[in-house]
């Protein structure tokens, strides 16, 4: 079975441009998470969804960031406008959830560079 | 809010030795899960081992085992017979159990860079 799929794997853009990161969770998983990894702040949770509904977006740094999950097999994280401090690795993870919580499985990450 | 602390930024051992990575956490939750993830240079996050807080028995996975001390809020990882392929960043992570089911986000420590020397 395929794991969590993220695209693109690398993204280089210029300050002010819109950036869209994409994630396909593992089939059957009903919770999806977006994390950001930087040298300064480490790994931090941005937002997560249960059954396509956003549950906690308190980690989203500011209004320039938005995330959607239109269906169970697809989610996007958008940054508009992008800034150099947004440069990081962005991970998507999914979990089966339900009454017995399982383990979060991570995608390969998207390395974003904003010039 | 939960916090996770890894006090060893970097460790280096010889191949075949045993190494222990430390992790402490702070929480007011009673039901939760603890994890160790490995991140090699490829940056892929790989689950190493997990522990449910309600289980007293320490989890083991082949060469990897944990020492879970709930009262002390300590969760260390022991790697036996270390191999060159174990060289990576290791992250300790906490996830609280949501009443009624569903998942919750992970809180990570800053990581320990483990180097296995040949």
CA-based nearest residue in chain B for residue A36 = B108
**A67, two tokens:** 């995330």
Write the residue in A33, A50, A108 that is nearest to B102 by C-beta. Answer: A50
Q: Would you call A101 and B103 a contact, using CB atoms and an 8 Å cutoff? A: yes
Does the pLDDT at position B30 exceed 70?
yes
d(CA B25, CA B73): 6
Better-predicted residue by pLDDT, A95 or A37: A37
Write the residue in A45, A103, A108 that is nearest to B105 by C-beta. Answer: A45
d(CA B40, CA B7): 20
Mean pLDDT of A13-31: 95
Mean pLDDT of B39-67: 94
CA-based nearest residue in chain A for residue B31 = A101
- Contact residues, chain A, for B95 at CB < 8 Å: 101, 104
Looking at residue A3, what is its pLDDT? 92
Going from the C-alpha of B83 to that of each of B45, B54, B86, B107, the distances in angstroms are: 18, 31, 5, 28
Return the exposure string of B76-99: e unless at least 16 CB atoms fall within 10 Å of the residue's CB, then b.
bbbbeebeeebbbbbbbbbbbbbe
Return mean pLDDT, chain A: 92
For residue A98, what pLDDT band results from cuts at 50, 70 and 90?
Answer: low
Q: Would you call B106 and A33 a contact, using CB atoms and an 8 Å cutoff? A: yes
**A60, two tokens:** 């989203």
Does the pLDDT at position B105 exceed 80?
yes
For residue B97, what pLDDT band results from cuts at 50, 70 and 90?
Answer: confident
Does the pLDDT at position B99 exceed 90?
no
- Contact residues, chain B, for A55 at CB < 8 Å: 102
- Contact residues, chain A, for B103 at CB < 8 Å: 31, 33, 48, 50, 95, 97, 101-102, 104
- Contact residues, chain B, for A44 at CB < 8 Å: 108
d(CA A32, CA A115): 29
Q: Would you call B103 and A95 a contact, using CB atoms and an 8 Å cutoff? A: yes
Residues 6+ apart with CB under 8 A from B45: A91, A93, A106, A109, B37, B38, B39, B91
**Cis before A81 (ω within 30):** yes
**A5, two tokens:** 């799929």
Return mean pLDDT, chain B: 94
Does the pLDDT at position A101 exceed 60?
no
d(CA A110, CA A107): 9
Looking at residue A2, what is its pLDDT? 81
Q: Each residue of A61-89: pLDDT tens digit? A: 889 999 999 999 999 999 999 999 999 99
Number of H helices and E strands in chain A, helices first, is 0, 11
Around Cβ A3, how many Cβ atoms within 10 Å? 14
Q: Would you call B105 and A105 a contact, using CB atoms and an 8 Å cutoff? A: no
Q: What is the DSSP letter of B96?
A: E
8 Å CB contact between A26 and A105: yes
Does the pLDDT at position B72 exceed 90?
yes
Looking at residue A1, what is its pLDDT? 63
């Amino acid at each position: 079975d395929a794991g969590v799929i993220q695209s693109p794997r690398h993204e280089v853009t210029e300050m002010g441009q819109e950036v869209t990161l994409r994630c396909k969770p593992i089939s059957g998983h009903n919770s999806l998470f977006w994390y950001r990894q930087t040298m300064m702040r480490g790994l931090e949770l941005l937002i997560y969804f249960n059954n396509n509904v956003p549950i906690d977006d308190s980690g989203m740094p500011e209004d320039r960031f938005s995330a959607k999950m239109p269906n169970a097999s697809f989610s996007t994280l958008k940054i508009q406008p992008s800034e150099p401090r947004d440069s990081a690795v962005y991970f998507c993870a999914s979990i089966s959830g339900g009454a017995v919580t399982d383990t979060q499985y991570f995608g390969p990450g998207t390395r974003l560079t904003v010039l | 809010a939960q916090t996770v602390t890894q006090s060893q930024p970097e460790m280096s051992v010889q191949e075949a030795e045993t190494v222990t990575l430390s992790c402490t956490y702070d929480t007011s939750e009673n039901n939760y899960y603890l994890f160790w993830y490995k991140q090699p240079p490829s940056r892929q996050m790989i689950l190493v081992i997990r522990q449910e807080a309600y289980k007293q028995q320490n989890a083991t996975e082949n060469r990897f085992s944990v020492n879970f001390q709930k009262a002390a809020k300590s969760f260390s990882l022991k790697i036996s017979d270390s191999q060159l392929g174990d060289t990576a960043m290791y992250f300790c992570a906490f996830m609280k159990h949501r009443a009624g089911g569903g998942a919750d986000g992970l809180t990570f420590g800053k990581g320990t860079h483990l180097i296995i020397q040949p």
